[in-house]
């Protein structure tokens, strides 16, 4: 796989510098770390920190800013950041009201973020965390115990961030983040795999007319391989996996995210969205908010995931509250 890069082991470092050079008014990098922090923190609020392996851009640095994250910690490609890096992020954003960590449910991430939380608690910083596990595809996997955290994480960033910006306490922000997680489910499918830079091998193999359903965001195996369906059939298949989990019924309101995995033309995502809206509407479910784009990617994987968040009034209000970040501005 051809890539625009210098040495594979320089990629994360050069990406982070490239991000700061692009958005110097919004981001700064903590010296000698892989932590990006808001240039100017909003005073007197709970800090929100997320992060994980690189290769999911714009996640997570793209969500740093007003009404979302205060810092994002980057590991190597598809590799958890180390506890000391997360600890630096926590210290940088704590303003006395405590810090919430938003962790995607992968064994390495959970272990390292928990360890960082303990290090921070030892220094007297109040830290809580939530673990996002929205992917309905597989219980346990090569990377996880339990379900994986994928694009639904962005809804957690948004809503927890809005609550923090409105002055909520750490326990209130955590409670709301946990409610988002409880009401969020995702599933994805890939048409083409991604390849870790320098590895020389794609994450999985697919035939010329084959897709992988239930993929993760690190090239993990999914649930099944099938023949390439039409866009409408794919919408139906993905929705059928997600709907029962949320016990959606007529009259419910949801937010929908149609997420590109990295190499998917926006045109295809809009076509997917077109039928998804019809399917939901025909079931009497109102789509109160839609996001279509590349929010949680897996390098150059082609394909899409859908995420549904079952809304209540508070979740809807905070989802639609203003935010100003590189990748998510309302």
**Residues belonging to the active site:** 56, 218
Please provide residue 208's backbone torsions phi and psi, each rounded to the nearest 5 degrees.
-65, -20
Q: The tokens of 33 are what? A: 């770390």
Q: What's the CA gap between 213 and 221, in Å, rounded?
A: 9
For 238-272, give the DSSP string: HHHHHHHHHT--TT-EEEEEEEE-BS--HHHHHHH
Q: What's the CA gap between 312 and 321, in Å, rounded?
A: 14
Angle between helices 152-165 and 170-182 (to 10 degrees): 150
How many other CB atoms are found less than 10 A from the CB of residue 313?
Answer: 8
Kindly tell me which of 145 and 290 has the beta carbon lying closer to a copy of itself.
290
Contacts with a copy of itself in 206-245 (CB under 8 A)?
208-209, 211, 228, 230-232, 234
Q: Is residue 23 near a copy of itself by the rule CB under 8 A?
A: yes
Size of the site for a copy of itself (CB under 8 A): 58
The distance of Cα 234 from the centroid of its chain, to the nearest Å, equals 22
Binding test (CB under 8 A) with a copy of itself, winner from 17, 121, 140, 224: 17
Where helices occur in 23-165 by DSSP H, the ranges are 83-93, 107-122, 152-165
Residue corresponding to tokens 């590895």: 199
Please provide residue 27's backbone torsions phi and psi, each rounded to the nearest 5 degrees.
-125, 150
Mask: binding to a copy of itself, 163-202, rule CB under 8 A, as x and -? ----------------------------xx----------
Kindly tell me which of 9 and 171 has the beta carbon lying closer to a copy of itself.
9
Kindly tell me which of 124 and 200 has the beta carbon lying closer to a copy of itself.
200
Contacts with a copy of itself in 87-146 (CB under 8 A)?
none
Q: Is residue 34 near a copy of itself by the rule CB under 8 A?
A: no
Q: Is residue 64 near a copy of itself by the rule CB under 8 A?
A: no
Q: The tokens of 54 are what? A: 């690189």
Q: Is residue 31 near a copy of itself by the rule CB under 8 A?
A: no
Binding test (CB under 8 A) with a copy of itself, winner from 30, 41, 115, 287: 287
The distance of Cα 96 from the centroid of its chain, to the nearest Å, equals 26
CB of 284 to a copy of itself, least distance (A): 16
Binding test (CB under 8 A) with a copy of itself, winner from 112, 141, 297, 318: 297
Q: Is residue 266 near a copy of itself by the rule CB under 8 A?
A: yes
Give every CB contact of residue 116 below 8 A, 6+ residues apart in sequence.
83, 84, 85, 86, 87, 89, 90, 101, 127
Q: What's the CA gap between 181 and 221, in Å, rounded?
A: 23
CB of 325 to a copy of itself, least distance (A): 10
Kindly tell me which of 115 and 292 has the beta carbon lying closer to a copy of itself.
292
The contact set with a copy of itself (CB under 8 A) reads 2-6, 11, 14-19, 21-23, 54-55, 57-58, 62, 191-192, 208-209, 211, 228, 230-232, 234, 258, 262-275, 277, 287, 290-292, 294, 297, 299-300, 302-304, 329
């Amino acid at each position: 796989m051809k890539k625009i890069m210098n040495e594979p082991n320089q990629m994360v470092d050069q990406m982070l510098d490239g991000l700061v050079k692009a958005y110097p008014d919004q981001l700064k990098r903590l010296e000698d770390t892989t932590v990006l922090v808001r240039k100017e923190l909003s005073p007197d609020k709970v800090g929100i920190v997320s992060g994980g392996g690189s290769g999911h851009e714009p996640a997570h640095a793209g969500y740093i800013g007003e009404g979302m994250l205060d810092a994002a910690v980057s590991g190597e490609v598809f590799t958890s950041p180390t506890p000391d890096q997360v600890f630096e992020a926590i210290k940088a954003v704590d303003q006395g009201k405590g810090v919430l960590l938003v962790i995607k449910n992968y064994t390495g991430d959970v272990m390292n973020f928990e360890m960082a939380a303990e290090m921070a608690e030892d220094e007297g910083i109040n830290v809580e965390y939530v673990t996002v596990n929205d992917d309905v595809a597989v219980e346990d996997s090569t990377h996880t115990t339990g379900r994986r955290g994928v694009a639904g994480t962005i809804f957690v960033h948004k809503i927890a961030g809005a609550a923090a910006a409105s002055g909520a306490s750490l326990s209130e922000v955590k409670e709301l983040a946990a409610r988002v997680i409880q009401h969020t489910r995702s599933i994805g499918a890939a048409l083409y795999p991604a390849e870790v830079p320098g590895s020389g091998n794609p994450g999985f193999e697919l035939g010329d007319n084959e897709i992988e359903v239930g993929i993760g965001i690190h090239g993990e195996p999914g649930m099944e391989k099938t023949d390439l369906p039409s866009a409408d059939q794919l919408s139906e298949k993905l929705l059928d996996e997600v709907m029962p989990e949320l016990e959606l019924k007529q009259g419910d309101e949801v937010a929908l995210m149609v997420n590109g995995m990295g190499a998917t033309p926006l045109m295809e995502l809009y076509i997917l969205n077109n039928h998804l809206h019809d399917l939901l509407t025909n079931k009497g479910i109102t789509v109160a908010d839609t996001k279509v784009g590349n929010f949680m990617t897996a390098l150059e994987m082609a394909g899409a995931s859908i995420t549904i968040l079952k809304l209540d009034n508070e979740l809807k209000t905070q989802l639609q509250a203003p935010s100003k970040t590189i990748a998510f501005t309302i």
